[in-house]
Chain A
Amino acid sequence: MFEKIERETSNNERAEKALICARRVGFRYSAEGEWILKNFSFELSAGEIMAVLGPNGRGKTTLLKLLIGLVKPVEGSIRCGGRLSYVPQVSTPAFDYKVLDMVVMGRAAEIGLFAVPGARDYKYAEEALLRLGIADLAQRNYSRLSGGQRQLVLIARALVSAPCGLVLDEPTSALDFKNQDLILRTLRQLAEQGLSIVMTTHAPNHALHVASRILILEQKTEYLYGPPSEVMTHEELHRLYGLELKKLTFEHHGQELQSVVPIFS
């Protein structure tokens, strides 16, 4: 009894500090439709990274849409201490733009229907590029960039609207190791600067590497939420990915590192 009260108190404290706070959220597209997400809660403080894991078609994208406000929860609530910016997956655009033009589009919400970005908007865009260390790409064509550079440009675009957090859709997929590292490092730096970050990923290693909170979307309306040490157990990962895997802990330059290795049949 006593224990339970204590736990609730600590939860409330966490919730108060949290930048993003989801409470018993449920969502379905129509009144008779199936619940896509139900009864899930989490909170995320400034400077924290949450990785969302789960098989395809389990509502990861819907969750991201809920977070950036493209759809509204049917049940429960999502409270947010500021603006969340969305970073889409890297794709080849229909039209090729200069990087600076691409980034300045992040200001669209602030720029009127019939207006074009002004000097101030371009200044924000340049600052965002500078912040990610890619100011030299400003005049390059977006489609001529590498996957990692493109992802950085998209992150920069999300940053120009001065958000309190970023929501990223599989930011490391389709990137080679070096670029994966580049993006994860960048996300970590941004978190250190105080941004809350939510990212979906299919790579448990990436989650282990950067995330302080993990949200695993399981069957239908079940979910698992907590710090990696609690949530990313061997059993849980086995269940999630449906194959044998090994969780390794090893030392590298005096640092204890964790890695999940799938055992392919």
Chain B
Amino acid sequence: MSDVERRVREVVARTLKIDPGRIEDRSRFVEDLGAESIQSVELVAAFEEEFDIEMDEEEALDVKTVGKAVEFIQRYV
């Protein structure tokens, strides 16, 4: 597991208040992890702070799974 992947999972678990063991690469934020629209906003904000990046809101719309989030963030860091 890469450093980015580990930190993404930590952020997801912390923000959505879920067991890190439930989080897989293919986990969908909304359908599988139960992220509501406000939590999705908080996730983006948490990723931005964790990795000190600014994510484009429009592009972030396409990030539906944990794995995609890792790929997306790796482009910034």
Q: Do A and B bind each other?
A: no
